[in-house]
Amino acid sequence: MMIPELTGHFRPARPPRMMRSAKSRRQGGAKGFAIRGLGAAMLMASLGACINVSAPDEPIVIELNINIRQEVIYRLAEDAANTIDENAEIF
Amino acid sequence: MRQAGRWARMGFAALAAGLIVIAPASAQRDPAYAAARAAGKVGERVDGYLGIVGEATPALQRIVDDINIKRRAVYTRKAQENNATLEQYAVTAGCQAILRTEPGEMYQTPSGAWKERDQSPPERDPRCPG
């Protein structure tokens, strides 16, 4: 003899997404957005890491050095010229 | 009185002789260095130091090391005075030293190759000021 009984644990019935109330839609939407945002941020972070790893960072560093150095070289040029004049025996 | 005048004249003469002897020694290149430079055996490197162009001999190495040790000392002092690093000051001096090479002397191009200076301006790093 079988007694009909609810044995399985099912999730409570929920209206389909489009039929939910505006309030629940808003909540779900905000949460969904937050999750999507987090996912996007993680994706961007991983993409950023990918770019850093895949592209050689050497050229970037060199370019920076060039910019810094040219400025410095221009600042030191006159002094260096005088130094060579004053120490002509070693130049 | 006449005696004092004579001593003064002798003093001046000694002083003048001293200046003549000392001044060229401190302002002119050592003959061995000058000869190696003119022969293109040594040249100006882009980093502000002297380099051996062809085959290194012990004599050339001695000349180059001696010059470079002295240059480094000067660069270190001047870099400190100008709040710059040794490397920055040395490279700046290198720009100037290459510009001052005379036709027939050797210098290093930005690619690292040695080149004989001719009448045209030397090939220098684009960062070097005109």
Query: pLDDT by residue (tens digit) across A27-81?
Result: 544 555 556 656 665 655 555 556 566 665 655 554 545 555 788 999 999 999 9
Total domains present in chain A: 2
Q: What is the Cα–Cα distance from B124 to B55, expressed in whole angstroms?
A: 24
Bigger pLDDT: A51 vs B58:
B58
Residue A73, in any domain of the structure: yes
Work out the number of other CB atoms within 10 angstroms of the CB of residue A73: 23
Are A51 and A38 in a shared domain?
Answer: yes
Residue B43: φ, ψ to 5°: -145, 170
- Beta-carbon contacts of residue B118 (< 8 Å; ≥ 6 apart): B103
Structural domain contains residue A7: no
Choice between A60 and B128, residue whose per-residue pLDDT is larger: B128
Q: Are residues A60 and A89 in the same domain?
A: yes
DSSP state of B127: T
Q: Are residues A61 and A89 in the same domain?
A: yes
The better pLDDT of the pair A42, B97 is held by: B97
Q: Which member of A66, A79, A89 has the closest CB to residue B127?
A: A66
Look at residue B110 and tell me if it is in a domain.
yes
> pLDDT tens-digit profile of A3-34?
555 565 556 566 555 555 555 445 544 555 55
In DSSP terms, which residues pair with B114 in a beta bridge? B108
Considering the domain architecture, whether residues A50 and A70 belong to the same structural domain is answered as no
Test the A interface: residue of B46, B127, B128 with most A CBs within 10 Å: B127
In a domain, B6, yes or no: no
Does an H or E element contain A47, and which?
helix A22-54
Q: Is the dihedral of CA B52, B55, B57, B59 positive or negative?
A: negative
The pLDDT of B77-85, averaged and rounded, is 96
* CB-based contact B89:B79 (threshold 8 Å): yes
Distance, in Å, from the CA atom of A63 to the CA atom of A65, rounded to the nearest integer, reads 5
- Between B89 and B26, whose confidence is greater? B89
Which pLDDT score, from 0 to 100, does residue B29 have? 96
Residue B128 has pLDDT above 80, yes or no: yes
Closest partner residue to A73 (CB to CB) among B29, B67, B91 is B91
User: Full-prediction pTM beyond 0.80?
Assistant: no
How close is the nearest chain A Cα to the Cα of B88, in Å?
7
pLDDT band at B130 (very low <50, low <70, confident <90, very high): confident
> What integer pLDDT is reported at residue A70 of this predicted model?
85
* High-pLDDT (> 70) share of chain B, %: 80
β-strands B106-108, B42-44 pairing: parallel
Please count the structural domains in chain B: 1
Nearest to B105 by CA among A72, A91, A60: A91
B29 to chain A, any CB pair closer than 8 A? The answer is yes
Which stretches within B28-109 are classed as H helix?
A: 31-38, 58-81, 86-99
Q: Do both A66 and A90 map to the same domain? A: yes
Q: Is there a domain that residue B96 lies in?
A: yes
Contact B78 A79 (CB under 8 A): yes
In this prediction the ipTM stands at 0.79
Q: CB of B65 within 8 Å of any CB in chain A?
A: no
pLDDT digits (tens, 9 = 90+) for B23-40: 444 589 999 999 999 999
